[in-house]
Amino acid sequence: MFVTTCGRPSQEVIQKAHQAAAVLDIPFIPRKKRSIIHHMNQNNQDCMVVGKDRFELHSTGENEEPFFFHPNSASFRIKRVIRGENDPLIEATGLEEGMSFLDCTLGLASDSIIASHIVGGNGKVVGIEANKYIAYILEHGLCSWTSPLNELNSAMSRIKVITGEFQEELKKMQDQSFDVVYIDPMFEEALTDSHGINPIRHWASYTGLSKDGIEEAKRVAKKRVVLKEHYQSPLFEEWGFSVMKRPSAKFHFGVLEV
């Protein structure tokens, strides 16, 4: 992995690229009017491209879409919540204003954004992301993305991002330090028709969920652990989750009171 810039970078963009290279401990390669594909082929590496408005991850794989932060489904979901409509995540987690929420598998942060809106400024939302490049892009995107919806901007700005494998990060946390611990592993196969999540699949962690990981989640949770899994997953029954079945949905939420 290396860092480069957009085609016509300003001095500010170049500084951001150097900063990213330093923080992520990867080389910075000046663009020099060469294409991104040229630099990736020459170095045989994937790259992070720093632009004026966003960071992108580009893969050497054929036909791979670049990954960049965007609110994805959180934008229309938060509008539904504002209108007083139900959101399955909120129903499963039981979140209310002032509560704390740990998202063990941050991904595109859509669920954390909804959680942050619900718990508000007096609450706390922390997301763990295994891939350090995704985590870096999310941390900056959540603070810099500007939406016409102020509630969305506020919710994004309050989310704290931690980099690491969540089953290891849980071990560092104190007992009952979050009201709700949420686990949404990346599915090996796409479960929705949305293309918004596709670019992240190349970079996502597919580390299996272990019994020890569930036990750590139970230790850290004050109220409940919530697991989102394929509707046919045997893990719900194996680990004692009460399943919230959703007609026609390909995934269900499992709730474990602690």
Whole-number Å distance between alpha carbons of 231 and 227: 11
Give yes or no for a contact between 182 and 214, defined as CB atoms under 8 angstroms apart: no
* pTM score of the predicted model: 0.91
Amino acid occupying residue 191? L
Whole-number Å distance between alpha carbons of 179 and 119: 11
DSSP string, 115-174: HHHHH-TTSEEEEEES-HHHHHHHHHHHHH---S-HHHHHHHHTEEEEES-HHHHGGGSP
**CATH superfamily entry for domain 74-257:** Vaccinia Virus protein VP39 (3.40.50.150)
**Residues near 153 by Cβ (< 8 Å), separated by ≥ 6?**
145, 146, 147
Whole-number Å distance between alpha carbons of 253 and 236: 9
pLDDT in tens, the chain (258 residues): 999 999 999 999 999 999 999 999 999 999 998 999 999 999 999 999 999 999 999 998 766 788 999 998 899 999 999 999 999 999 999 999 999 999 999 988 999 999 999 999 999 999 999 999 999 999 999 999 999 999 999 999 999 999 999 999 999 999 999 999 999 986 443 444 444 455 566 655 556 788 899 999 999 999 999 999 988 888 899 899 999 988 888 889 999 998
Whole-number Å distance between alpha carbons of 46 and 186: 21
> Which residues does residue 256 pair with via DSSP β-bridges, in sequence order?
225
Domain boundaries, the chain: 2-58, 74-257
Give yes or no for a contact between 30 and 4, defined as CB atoms under 8 angstroms apart: yes
Nearest to 27 by CA among 53, 41, 9, 45: 45
Where is 78: in which H helix or E strand?
A: helix 74-82
Where is 221: in which H helix or E strand?
A: strand 221-230
Q: Give the position of tokens 């494998």.
A: 165
Provide the edge-to-edge strand list for the sheet that holds 47-50.
Answer: 2-5, 47-50, 55-58
